[in-house]
Amino acid sequence: MKVLQIFENNINERFMDQVIEALNAGEVIIYPTDTLYALGCDALNNNAIQRICRIKGINPEKTNLSIICSDLSQAAEYARIDNRAFRILKNNLPGAFTFILPASTTLPKVFKGRKTVGVRIPANAIPCEIAARLGNPILTTSVEVDEDNPAEGCEPESIAMHYEDVASLIIDGGEGNVMPSTVVDLTDSSDPEVVREGAGELEV
């Protein structure tokens, strides 16, 4: 597995080109967020999404799939965001949240059985920059964390060893966090519901 050291206050252009090249080739990468490190791929590449689902043992028909977007403008291309939802997103993003929103028809067929999509815009420049340069979102799912040794889930070296057979590269952005994002159901924007407490504190 290739290790690329990229820090959010100093984006390495050459390394970022390698990241985009890997995503365009349908490969799986690992990258830091403002919460846990995550596995990701091009969110418009159906085969790559299926591969990540197999890696994580996810049934895409029964599990919410989430995407990282560069900003709210990109998010609006892949999720239906009404005015009330937009205000809530604007108040809380970038941040440690996954907002469950009605999915638009622009997502690939693996999403077709799903009426919703999880949207993330992390408070970390690296994944947002990836989505901006790719030109569309990246599918995201957190790395697995051992409850008996959660610190391993935030150390890039340990993560790389765990996933060396399934991911082509890891972005080492320094030590990550062990707390996941706060998940908020915004499918009814008049009644946002926190379905998982995490690192983000919701402002409505």
Which residues, in sequence order, are CB contacts of 164 under 8 Å at separation 6+? 1
Residue from 115, 116, 176, 172 nearest 142 by CA: 176
Kindly state the average pLDDT of the residues 73-79. 97
CATH superfamily of 2-196: DHBP synthase (3.90.870.10)
pLDDT band for 66, please (50, 70, 90 cuts). Answer: very high
Beta strands 29-31 and 169-172: pairing type? parallel
- Has residue 130 got a pLDDT over 90? yes
The ranges assigned to domains in the chain are 2-196
- Has residue 51 got a pLDDT over 90? yes
Task: Tell me: cis bond preceding 94? Omega within 30 of 0 counts.
Answer: yes
pLDDT at 110: 81
Distance CA 57, CA 84 (A): 35
Kindly state the average pLDDT of the residues 137-164. 87
Task: Give percent of the chain with pLDDT exceeding 90.
Answer: 84
pLDDT at 93: 98
Which one is predicted more confidently, 153 or 104?
104
pLDDT band for 129, please (50, 70, 90 cuts). Answer: very high
Distance CA 202, CA 47 (A): 34
